[in-house]
Structure 1
Amino acid sequence: MRFQSTAKKPPYLNRGDQFRLLALFAMLFIVVLAFRKAADPNTWRWLLPGDEDQVADTIDTGDLRDISYVVVDKNEHLDLDEFIASSEGGANSGGAPEEKFNLLLDPHVFDEVKDQTVGWRSRAEVAALHVVLEKVRQLDNKAMTAAANKGVGFRQINQEPEKFRGELVRIKGVLWRLDEFQQDGEPVEDSPVYNGWMFTDDSGNKPWMVLCTELPSELPLGDKLDRPVAVTGYFFKRYGYETTGSQLNVAPLLVAKTFELQAVPAEQLEERTDNATLTVFLVLLVSLLLLGLILFGFIRSDRKFAGSRLAELAKPNQNATLSSEVLDGMELTHPSDALRGVGLGGKTESDSDEQVDEQNG
């Protein structure tokens, strides 16, 4: 009969050593997280702000249209602080007609574009998107900004999308998320597209979606960027997307060339510094408390072991001096002397002589 053994294999480490190893692994995990957090440049922006994070200039320059002027004769001498403004429109008065014509898009490009659809509705819509992307790659961002409509709000563009479709729109707000856009259809090599989500003052918690073909060198990809930016782009459609809570939402989609970094306001910069300082202080405090608890557990475990019966058994019964004296007083015998006279069968020579005498007798 076979009986199942109830004996369990003894662990190689006792409970105290297992706890210590677990605590060391926890400390190593915290160190790795700290290294990864320290490698993020956004972590140290509060301590070493870059040029783009400088406080905005608070000097009010006023509206240039309020400059007073006096009609003078062209031949009259002017003072050093006076100038002549020509009554005829110059080259920069409204932009060259050819330049404005180059900024226009063919209205038929948007024939297959439909609003309030999750993702892209058809291949024709994707093709229209690539046409607009290729258009902004060839344009200058300053020219786009000069010709853009700067008075379009979030609610207005959502209520009248057909009116503003294909029109250049300029908005300012806070860029929250930026990543590389996964283009549908055949991707074009060396022509990346970036997807940004930004909030404006009138959008509340509803974002704008912006596709751009270039990025400033100071603007990294990532989440929770919280960077003040401005952008000029063509309004494409009201893009439907699914939120993290599996809810459907719609965002105005702009196709732009790049983001323009804006100066951080003084109040926002001070708030960031205060929040970052508090976060660093709390992280250090929690880390020190955790380290203190681990060390306290180690010390308590050592003291508990020192007062246990196992520690008494582990101690030597005699000291080194007594052991040396005992060894010095022992009689030494060579192993060959102990085996001398032992014959086969474990009998000695004296035993063999006694057996011979008995046989003779």
Structure 2
Amino acid sequence: MRFDDTQQPVPYLNRQDQRRLLGMVAGLSFIVIAILWAARPETWHWLIPADNESAQNAPLSEEGDAPPFTVGESPNPFGSSPDPVNSSVPSEKTVNSSRVGSATNIPPEWLESINDQFMGLRADESDAYYRILAHISRLDVDLLNKHARKDILHVNLIHSPDLYRGELLSLKGTARRILPLKTIENPYGVKTAYEVWITTEDSGNDPWRIVTTSLDKRLPRGENVNAPVKLVGYFFKLYSYASNGGQHMAPLLLAAQVEPNIVVKVAPSGTGLQPYIILFAALFGFGTLLLVTAYHQGDHIFRTEMSHKFRPEDFESRKVLQEMAGKEYDPTEILKQASIKKNDPA
């Protein structure tokens, strides 16, 4: 007879131990993620808010050269050559039918006299010119910004001026020349005007010509400036001008105001999540404390139950069984010896 101890340990953890390990892994993962998040400098502003008063605006203008073009404005802005100069521009009128039903839209009849085939501005274009300047000056700035298009490029206007004539455009660029512009008597009350030549990212060295009735006082004036600006204006026509490189064309926009495009460099002052982060950390700490307490209580209950189920071990019997392990015995002989010991009073 063999008395080998064949009991093997359970090859898996019970459900309670599995939940404990899962909780510890989740807690460790959260700690690792929190460490990685806190190591990023851009997340520190919630703990130490930056001082916004120390933020400075970008410089309004810098030294720089204007693009290689020269424009001389005659006393009469509508003095122009009677001969066509822009033979590359199609003369067929293509009406943009999308401009309907809004206070910012220009009626097509206002633009019937506009012609891109002649140099400068013609006398019969003066009514539309001043009428649109007066019209945009009366419109609300927020309304203009809401309806202005930002998807029309310089090259689109050069190749298809009739398609985009009268469109309200939003531009951001660099002013190269800012000068006062003479006006003539008109029935719309426009008495002051300025011309602003700007370049944009999509135009390169090819300029835009802007005529505006108002100019921000912070902008410099002169033949050679370099100032970031922004504006909203109507595309009026292709303006032909003479430059050092010959005859060129620039889209002419009529605007109510040209403003400096000031980029405010402000350090982040917080995201407003500080109370939530602190609350989450407190809840996480409280939950961790509850888990540790529950685990300790569970261990105590487990030890108590095991002590009731399994009595203290008989070390003498265990020693005998270990000596008998791996040997063969006759049960009858063992019973006889046990009977003799029982009957023997000694």
In the superposition, the TM-score normalised over structure 1's length comes to: 0.44
| Structure label with greater radius of gyration | 2
Which structure has the higher relative contact order (CA within 8 Å, separation 6+)?
Answer: 2
Q: Give the TM-score taking structure 2 as reference length.
A: 0.46
The structure whose residues are more often helix, as a share, is 1
